[in-house]
Structures are given as C-alpha cells and as structure tokens.
Structure 1
C-alpha cells in the first residue's frame, strides 16, 4: 500500500509529529507548528505524509482560530493530494500559509541526510 520511501521516512516524520503533539499538549502552540513544518519537509515526497501533515496543520489552525492558516491549508491539502505523486513539490517548503506553496527552500543537512537515506533504501 505505501511506497518504500513512505515506509523509510516514517520514523523521521513520526518523530516530528510526536514532538508537535507534545508541544501542543504543553501549550507550546508555535513550537508545535514548527514541528509540523519539519514533518512537512521530511515527508512531502510521500503523498500519504504530505496530505497528513497538511491536515494536521489545518487542525492546528482551527484550534488556534487562525483563519489565514486555515484557508491556506485547504488549498495545500488539495495540492498535496493531487500533485505529490507527480513530483510537483517545491523541495524544502515548510508548508505553512506564511510561505508560497510554490517556493523551494533550503533543507537542513540533517533532514537532507534523512531524506537521502530514505530514498537510497528504495533502490
């Protein structure tokens, strides 16, 4: 059901999602969103994780009553669901409504390494 990349990147994405959940639980809402952004960078080449993270960002925006983020995530959920499988994603984009959904961004060395490792195990 899931691609090999999705299976390989899963521990890294889930680690960030766990940190986001913990930060939310502790009332550190901006920190939680930063972890969602990290999960987005790591998982955006997987349709499953790309859509999942945008849905979680949508939920975060709803709970924070952040209408700009909420509406931005609706657009991004649709894009993630329809464009990821074709590789139409801007590398390194953090996924929030505060950046263009088309803007490529630098990826940290650690995250580049995690992504490269997940891709190399695919071949």
Structure 2
C-alpha cells in the first residue's frame, strides 16, 4: 500500500517503509538525502534546517546571557570600587577638616586665655 502524499510505503503489518532518500546517516547527526525530490525528504530537510536554526539561536541567546551576566558583574565590581574610592576620599577630606577645625578651636582657646 502506497501513501500518495509522501510516497512512503506501508507494509501489511502497518510498519512504514521509508525510502532511502529519507534515511539518516550512521552518526545520526547529519542527515543524508539522495538526489530525490521526494516530498517527505523535503519536509525532513526543512524540519532539520529549522531545528539547526533553533539550536544556533539558543546558543546565541546563551552566549548573550553569559556576556550580560559578565557585564553586570563587572559593573557591580566597578560600582563597589568607585564607592570605596569615594569613601576613602571623603574620609580623607573629613580628617583634614577635623584637623583644621581642631587647630582653629585651639587657636581660639589660646586667644581667649590670653585675652582674659
């Protein structure tokens, strides 16, 4: 019995007999088709191509996600270093201002003691 849509033979016991143009190679990864324009082969080629496209797209998305995580991590590191640098600068400025203020207070106290 022959199915007229895709020319795949079906044996009496219901097992499909696929033409040689539709068989995959032994490694199972690359599908090899003979030079037939068989409609089933065309569909299989199309499906395999779409599958490869989806796999490549997923790989690209995964790489982009990894790169984005790396960028975020680098930005966080830069932000933390920047905050630390600001903290150090602010503490240095605060210490400088505190020293100057103590000197002024000491000068004022000296002035008050001598003026009394």
Fold equivalence (TM over 0.5): no
TM-score for the superposition, normalised by structure 1? 0.28
Structure showing greater relative contact order (alpha-carbon pairs closer than 8 Å, 6 or more residues apart): 1
